[in-house]
Amino acid sequence: MEKIKVQDAVGAVLIHDMTEIIPGVVKGPRFRKGHIIRKEDIPVLLGMGKEHIYVWDQTPGLIHENEAAERLARSVRGPGLNLDEPKEGKINLTAAFDGLLYASEDGILALNTLEDVVLATIHNYQPVKKGDKIAGTRVVPLMIDEKVILEAERIAQTFPNPILEVRPLKTFKVGIVTTGSEVFHGRIKDKFGPVLRRKIENWGSIALEQTFASDDVSMIQSAIRDQLKHGAEMILVSGGMSVDPDDVTPTAIKEMGAQLITYGAPVLPGAMFLLAYLEDVPIMGLPGCVMYSKTTVFDLVAPRILTGEHLTRLDIVKLGHGGLCLECPTCTYPRCSFGK
């Protein structure tokens, strides 16, 4: 690539954005790609430490960083993602609507293993809002051999799912069965239902009429059957999930012939969580902590099910890494390590 002195560059066209950084004040492009250098720009460029600029290089087989970034972004982009304009040679991908991020960790690794390719993303399975930044991509040099980009595009195609995708949460009819003799007999007021209803509605689903059962296997089972009859597409059974003789919720669910995915999850709070499928309807057994703690296993699992994903035991056991909630005085989830 040919370089010329900035003093000789009046009239030359900049071929990349020129970043100015003043700590604590500004970081951004002072001059954009395509800018025609004027006499008055020369002291500014010198002040930014630029004594030379590059002039356009027509070497065949090389592509500009902006084109490279755009092709990388397109190769990883699945449904639910928008591409921003290139800035300083980088392209950001943002969420096109509210949903949950599905990222291929192997795909991200494979692309970044290519020299000079940069793909930085947020963590997998994070809830995102429309417009949220999800990833940024660029190449390291100003001009790059097109072969590198062709290889990145080829690699991205080898994965069964897009490398990055935002899936919307579907609207489920959700049945709530609340167990516990103390609630059933009116000794205490139910506090579980309102927590679950609020979360379900925040996710855009519909809470059906809540039903109550004492700590009795057949009563819990008939309440679950009633929820199915009323069209529940997901059933949440609260309480009775731990080690006391009166904790019969797991037995009730298992003995209905449901396909048990897990009883127990490597997540705190939420160790006593249960997931099963009965006639393809997901049933979750929710321990007392889901009522008490702001963020729990329920917040990690339910949104995934609401995208239509069918979870396996491996999906649940993988939650262990990042499964410890730090129970901060002010919860900042999902901007923390929980579930990452």
Ligand X SMILES: Nc1nc2c(c(=O)[nH]1)N[C@H]1C(S)=C(S)[C@@H](COP(=O)(O)OP(=O)(O)OC[C@H]3O[C@@H](n4cnc5c(N)ncnc54)[C@H](O)[C@@H]3O)O[C@H]1N2
Give the footprint of ligand MOO on this chain (CB under 6 A).
Answer: 268-272, 287, 289
314 near ligand X, rule: CB under 6 A: no
210 near ligand X, rule: CB under 6 A: no
* Amino acid making up residue 228: L
Among 183, 208, 219, 232, binds ligand X (CB under 6 A): 183
Enumerate residues 6+ apart whose C-beta is below 8 A from 335: none
191 near ligand X, rule: CB under 6 A: yes
243 near ligand X, rule: CB under 6 A: yes
271 near ligand X, rule: CB under 6 A: yes
CA distances from 306 to 174, 204, 233, 287, 293 (A): 10, 9, 10, 20, 21
How many residues of this chain interact with ligand X, rule: CB under 6 A? 22
Q: Between 105-113 and 146-157, two packed helices, what is the crossing angle to 10 degrees?
A: 160
Contact window for ligand X (CB under 6 A) among 118-126, 184-192, 198-206, 313-321: 184-192
Enumerate residues 6+ apart whose C-beta is below 8 A from 99: 80, 127, 128, 166, 167, 168, 169, 307
CB of 267 to ligand MOO, least distance (A): 8
Q: Which of residues 109-128 bind ligand X (CB under 6 A)?
A: none
Cβ proximity of 157 and 191 under 8 Å: no
206-207 vs 173-179, strand pairing mode: parallel
Contact window for ligand X (CB under 6 A) among 105-113, 117-125, 147-155, 189-197: 189-197
Cβ proximity of 277 and 283 under 8 Å: yes
Long-range contacts, 224-230 (Cβ 8 Å, 24+)? 224/175, 224/177, 224/252, 224/253, 224/256, 224/278, 224/283, 225/256, 227/175, 227/176, 227/177, 228/175, 228/278, 228/279, 228/281, 230/173, 230/175
178 near ligand X, rule: CB under 6 A: yes
Contact window for ligand X (CB under 6 A) among 28-36, 63-71, 241-249, 327-335: 241-249
213 near ligand X, rule: CB under 6 A: no
Contact window for ligand X (CB under 6 A) among 32-40, 76-84, 188-196, 308-316: 188-196
241 near ligand X, rule: CB under 6 A: yes
169 binds, among ligand MOO, ligand X, none (CB under 5 to 8 A by kind): none
Nearer to ligand X, 95 or 274 (CB): 274
CB of 193 to ligand X, least distance (A): 7
Contact window for ligand X (CB under 6 A) among 10-18, 120-128, 134-142, 232-240: 232-240
Per the structure block, which two tokens stand in for 229? Answer: 């009859």
Contact window for ligand X (CB under 6 A) among 64-72, 77-85, 233-241, 330-338: 233-241
192 binds, among ligand X, ligand MOO, none (CB under 5 to 8 A by kind): ligand X
CA distances from 333 to 55, 121, 265 (A): 47, 17, 19
Cβ proximity of 101 and 134 under 8 Å: yes
Cβ proximity of 230 and 195 under 8 Å: no
Q: Would you say the C-alpha torsion 16, 18, 24, 25 has a positive or negative sign?
A: negative
250 binds, among ligand MOO, ligand X, none (CB under 5 to 8 A by kind): none
State which residue has the least CB distance to ligand MOO: 289
Binding site for ligand X (CB under 6 A): 178, 180, 182-183, 188, 190-192, 238-244, 247, 271-272, 287-289, 291
